[in-house]
Each structure stands twice: as structure tokens, then as C-alpha cells.
């Protein structure tokens, strides 16, 4: 594993990946494992802080499929069996991942992203990807209508790197969709801000819920999360509509939100504050175009919805696997345009399903019962396992009746019309078997 030296090493690669978060690492590892020459340019030195700590059972499922789930042992990555949702009137609901059925993984895990992302990026490096930390991409290089490479800063110097493909996995920075093509659009239904911090020395005895679960407490001005990220550490975050946070300091908004959720408040009362409040704003956006001549946008670089159901990393990883498969297919002779449209529609199908789920949840004021009842106005009977599966990451299956009902709600359309690309990327065999069963029963 040699360190990439920009002054000495080759400038042309099969793929240049911008960003070494989950989307970038997984794209790079998949390409490197298939024998391609990949360079990852990451502006930070890892390990570095990142938000996005609660994972889904399907995330564990796809990591298992890739053969790397055991890089995240339970001693360091607390097992998450479910998610609790509480409201101001004392209402309580818990989604239990063990009820999904159909051979799906029954648990997920929580993580400290500094560790999680570092492990993933090292894994890409071990498989042969070249990684340059402290390399900030500043410009996109295009000629004859094709993206050909990037210019980046490393130390005091500027360099160029060229790739047969450039894969933008730069997260919210969105080097291609946001800054270069300027075709990323804000999701005006979800104009939110999030303020968060880590607590240490959190005593598990103060947890009124089930160890490892994410807690989500909602109230009229937003919601609060509490995520156990390991060894007495708790991540707590407040999400509120941007207009409600205006004029108040992040710390004041954060404290005020904690005070409203007793099941989280009691966990941090005797705890140590590990850092000041951090924040993210205007983080819900989408782009109709996710691939084009010479490039792909992967993960948050193209689309991001709302973190309430913790699907960001899952969507980043699933899109990364598909992007790498698409690049490999094109390099082996598949039609570029056709492969890219398939990628784009696959990725949009996943983000679209997740977005609809969130709209429905907000529209029913976080009330699962009301939410399910409103969906069940049709002739479909909704069993709890379909909700549990959807909240675990079942975004691409046609067999999930809740997913299908949501997709049929035209009020929830976000992207310009596009053909859905079905087929679960995590459990394709089970999904196909269930389709066959449904066909036989039907
Ligand atoms: C408030 C909040 C809470 C969230 N909670 C959850 C959660 O509980 N669970 C979950 O799954 N998701 C959550 N998310 C979403 C999650 O953070 C993202 O979806 C996930 O990190 C996306 O991965 P990515 O690899 O696409 O982007 P990132 O993880 O952001 O990685 C992008 C990388 O690109 C690098 N980069 C950026 N610009 C450049 C450049 N110019 N040159 C070189 N490198 C560059 C960055 O340094 C970074 O390392 C949350 C998001 C928010 C805002």
C-alpha cells in the first residue's frame, strides 16, 4: 500500500473519486477490487468528525454482502435492534427490526463516523485504491462536453488528476451537481436545520428504553435524536424548521429541544459535554441528473433527504455500489448512456421512496397509527412487518405494499417523472423469491 505522491505518480486513472466518505470509499473499493486504477481525493485528514451515526439493518445487510460487516464489531459499534418514537403527549411507539421477517438482518449498528469512515477508507486502500488526504478539489476539468478530471490543492501546490470517469462523492459540498452544473435543487418541503453534540460518561442505567436503540422524540417545533455511539458516548441532535431557529443561538435551540424530551434529557443530565454544538442547515436537496459524459454523482453529492429515519449512509453505500458496477460495465463495453440512465433511475428510486416515507410521517404528525391508517384507506392490508422493513431500508422492492402505496401518491413526487428501477440491492434473492410467491398466490 504505497502513499500516492502527486508530484511523482501518474495523473491518469480509470476513476478519480472526489471525497472519501462512505460513498467515495465504497465506490473506490469496488473499482479497486475489480482491478481498476482508482484515485480518491479527500480534503480532510482522517479520522475526522462527521454526522450520520445511526445505521439501518439493510446497511448492515449490504456491508455483509460486500464481505466487510465484520470490520464493525459490536464492542465498538453498538447493536441497534430498533427505534423508539415519542411525542409530547407521552405517546410511545417502537419499531422492532426483528419483526421484518423474510430472512432480513434483524439488527443494525450505531457508529462514531470518525471511526466508521476511517475503516471504510482504509479498506478501499487495502484493496488497491490510492488515497490522498488533504486534497481539496477546486475545479472540474471538462473538454468536448466530457468531464475528464479535476484540479486540486494539496499542501501549497495545485495538481491535476484525470480519469476515464470522475465520481463525485463529495457529500453536501456537491462538487459536480451543486457547484459545477448547478442543477441541485433545494427540497422546499423540508427546510430544516440540525444542531448536535456528543456527550460522554453516559450511564446506561439512565436509559429508559432498550440499549442500542435510536431515540426520536418529537414536539411541535421539530424532533430530537439520541444515538448511543459506543463506550458511554451519546450523540444528541435537534432538528427544527429553519424559520423556527432564526434569531436564536444554536446552543439555545439545542438546550430548549432537549428540555422538551424527558426520555433523552434524563440521559444527559449527569453526562460530560464533549464538544460545542455543531450544525448543518438547508441539507435537503435533490438533483434530477446524477450521471453524464464521464461522471457520476454518488451519495449526498447528488441528493439528500432528512435524517429522521437514518438512511443517508445506506443510500450513499447503495448508490456507490451501483456507480462502481456501472463504471465497470462501461469500461467492459456496455453502452455509457444506457448504463448511466439505469444508474440514475436506480438511485432516484431509492431516494424517492425514502423521501415519500418522510413526507408521510411528517404529514401524519409522527403518528405511526395514523400514518398506517391513512395508507390503508386503499384495499391493501398493512402488516407491521412492511413498515419495519421499510424503516430498515426496503426502498427498492415492489413487494412491499407500503412502498407501493407511497410511490402511487402523486402529491409526494419530488423528482421529474422517471421510470422506477426495482430490485432490492441487499436481498435480491429473497426479493425475487417473494415476487414469485406473490405471482403464484395471485
Ligand atoms: C443533521 C444530520 C443528521 C444525520 N443523521 C444520519 C444518521 O443518523 N444516519 C445516516 O445514515 N445518515 C445521517 N445523516 C446523513 C449522512 O451524514 C450522509 O448521508 C452521509 O454521510 C453521506 O455519505 P457521503 O459519502 O455521500 O458524503 P460524506 O459522508 O459527507 O462524505 C463526503 C466526503 O467528501 C469530502 N469532500 C467534500 N468536498 C471535497 C472536495 N472539494 N475535495 C475533496 N474532498 C471533498 C468530505 O471531506 C467528506 O469526507 C445525517 C445528516 C444530517 C445533516
Residues 88-124: pLDDT tens digits?
A: 888 898 999 999 999 999 999 999 999 999 999 999 9
Encode pLDDT of 238-249 as tens digits: 999 988 888 899
State whether the beta carbon of 23 lies less than 6 angstroms from ligand 1.
yes
Grid-cell match 490543492, residue found: 153
Ligand 1 centroid to 432 CA: how many Å? 32
Q: How far apart are CA 134 and CA 136, in angstroms?
A: 6
* Residue 372 scores a pLDDT above 70: no
What is the residue whose three cell numbers read 443510500?
A: 315
| Position 336 pLDDT exceeds 80 | yes
Atom number in ligand 1 closest to CA 170: 34
Q: Is the pLDDT of residue 358 over 60?
A: yes
Q: Report the pLDDT averaged over residues 373-381.
A: 62
Lowest mean pLDDT: which of 129-138, 293-302, 353-362, 381-390? 381-390
Does this model's pTM top 0.75? Answer: yes
Does residue 294 have a cis peptide bond before it, meaning omega lies within 30 degrees of 0?
no
User: Strands 184-186 and 285-287: what pairing?
Assistant: antiparallel
Mean pLDDT of the chain: 93
Query: Nearest residue CA, atom 5 of ligand 1?
Result: 52
Report the pLDDT value the prediction gives residue 188, as an integer from 0 to 100: 87
Residue 145 C-alpha to ligand 1 middle, in angstroms? 29
In angstroms, rounded to a whole number, what is the distance separating the alpha carbons of residues 223 and 261?
9
Contact 268, 236 (CB under 8 A): yes
Q: pLDDT value at position 91?
A: 86
**Residue 61 pLDDT exceeds 50:** yes
Q: Whose CA is nearest to atom 18 of ligand 1?
A: 312
Average pLDDT score over residue span 390-409: 93
Note the pLDDT of residue 148. 97
Which residues are CB-neighbours of 49 under 8 A, at least 6 positions away? 113, 114, 278
Nearest atom in ligand 1 to the alpha carbon of residue 135 is 43
> Which residue's CA lies nearest to atom 35 of ligand 1?
19
The predicted model gives 44-68 an average pLDDT of: 98
pLDDT (0 to 100) of residue 361: 87
113 Cα: distance to centroid of ligand 1 (angstroms): 9
Mean pLDDT of 27-49: 98
User: Which ranges of 216-335 does DSSP label H, i.e. alpha helix?
Assistant: 242-245, 250-259, 262-268, 312-331
Q: Is the pLDDT of residue 318 over 70?
A: yes
* Residue 67 Rama label (left phi>0; alpha psi -120 to 50; beta): left
Torsion angle (degrees, nearest 10) of CA 122, 127, 129, 135: 0
How many C-beta neighbours within 10 Å does residue 163 have? 25
CA of 314 to the centre of ligand 1 (A): 11
CA–centroid distance, 198 to ligand 1, in Å, is: 17
Distance CA 40, CA 169 (A): 10
pLDDT bin (cut points 50, 70, 90) of residue 164 is: very high
What is the reported pLDDT for 283? 77
In the prediction, which pLDDT does 89 show?
Answer: 86
**Higher pLDDT residue, 244 or 45?**
45
Q: Is the CB of 279 under 6 A from ligand 1?
A: no
Instruction: Give the distance from CA 330 to its chain's centroid.
Output: 25
| Residue 442 pLDDT > 60 | no
Q: Which residues fall within 8 angstroms of residue 77, CB to CB, at 6 or more apart?
A: 109, 110, 111, 116, 230
Amino acid at each position: 500500500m504505497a502513499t500516492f505522491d502527486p508530484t511523482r505518480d501518474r495523473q491518469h486513472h480509470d476513476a478519480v473519486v472526489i471525497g472519501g466518505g462512505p460513498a467515495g470509499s465504497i465506490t473506490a473499493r469496488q473499482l479497486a477490487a475489480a482491478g481498476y486504477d482508482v484515485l480518491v481525493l479527500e480534503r480532510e485528514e482522517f479520522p475526522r468528525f462527521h454526522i450520520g451515526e445511526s445505521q439501518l439493518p439493510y446497511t448492515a445487510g449490504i456491508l455483509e454482502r460486500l464481505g466487510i460487516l465484520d470490520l464493525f464489531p459490536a464492542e465498538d459499534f453498538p447493536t441497534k435492534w430498533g427505534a423508539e418514537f415519542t411525542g409530547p403527549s407521552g405517546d410511545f411507539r417502537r419499531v422492532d427490526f426483528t419483526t421484518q421477517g423474510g430472512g432480513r438482518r434483524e439488527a443494525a449498528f450505531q457508529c462514531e463516523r470518525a471511526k466508521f469512515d476511517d475503516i471504510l477508507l482504509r479498506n478501499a486502500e487495502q484493496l488497491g485504491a490510492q488515497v490522498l488526504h488533504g486534497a481539496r478539489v477546486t475545479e472540474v476539468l471538462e473538454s468536448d462536453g466530457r468531464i475528464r478530471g479535476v484540479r486540486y490543492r494539496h499542501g501549497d501546490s495545485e495538481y491535476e488528476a484525470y480519469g476515464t470517469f470522475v465520481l463525485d462523492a463529495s457529500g453536501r459540498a456537491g462538487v459536480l451537481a451543486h457547484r459545477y452544473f448547478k442543477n441541485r435543487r433545494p427540497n422546499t418541503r423540508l427546510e430544516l436545520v440540525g444542531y448536535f453534540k456528543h456527550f460522554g460518561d453516559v450511564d446506561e442505567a439512565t436509559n429508559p428504553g432498550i440499549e442500542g436503540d435510536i431515540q426520536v422524540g418529537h414536539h411541535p417545533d421539530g424532533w430530537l435524536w439520541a444515538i448511543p455511539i459506543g463506550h458511554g458516548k451519546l450523540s444528541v441532535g435537534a432538528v427544527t424548521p429553519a424559520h423556527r431557529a432564526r434569531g436564536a443561538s444554536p446552543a439555545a435551540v439545542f438546550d430548549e429541544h432537549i428540555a422538551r424530551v424527558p426520555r433523552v434529557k434524563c440521559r444527559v443530565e449527569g453526562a460530560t459535554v464533549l464538544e460545542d454544538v455543531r450544525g448543518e442547515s438547508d441539507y435537503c436537496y435533490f438533483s434530477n441528473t446524477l450521471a453524464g459524459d464521464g461522471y457520476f454523482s454518488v451519495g449526498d453529492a447528488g441528493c439528500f433527504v432528512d435524517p429522521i429515519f437514518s438512511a443517508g449512509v445506506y443510500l450513499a453505500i447503495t448508490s456507490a455500489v451501483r456507480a462502481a458496477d456501472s463504471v465497470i460495465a462501461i469500461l467492459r463495453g456496455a453502452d455509457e448512456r444506457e448504463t448511466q440512465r439505469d444508474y440514475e433511475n436506480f438511485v432516484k428510486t431509492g431516494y424517492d421512496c425514502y423521501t415519500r416515507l418522510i413526507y408521510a410521517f411528517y404529514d401524519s404528525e409522527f403518528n405511526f397509527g395514523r400514518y398506517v391508517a391513512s395508507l390503508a384507506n386503499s384495499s391493501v392490508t398493512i402488516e407491521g412487518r412492511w413498515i419495519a422493513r421499510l424503516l430498515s431500508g426496503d426502498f427498492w422492492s415492489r413487494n412491499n405494499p407500503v412502498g407501493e402505496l407511497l410511490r402511487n401518491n402523486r402529491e409526494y413526487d419530488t423528482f421529474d417523472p422517471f421510470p422506477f428501477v426495482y430490485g432490492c440491492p441487499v436481498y435480491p434473492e429473497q426479493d425475487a423469491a417473494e415476487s414469485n410467491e406473490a405471482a403464484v398466490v395471485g
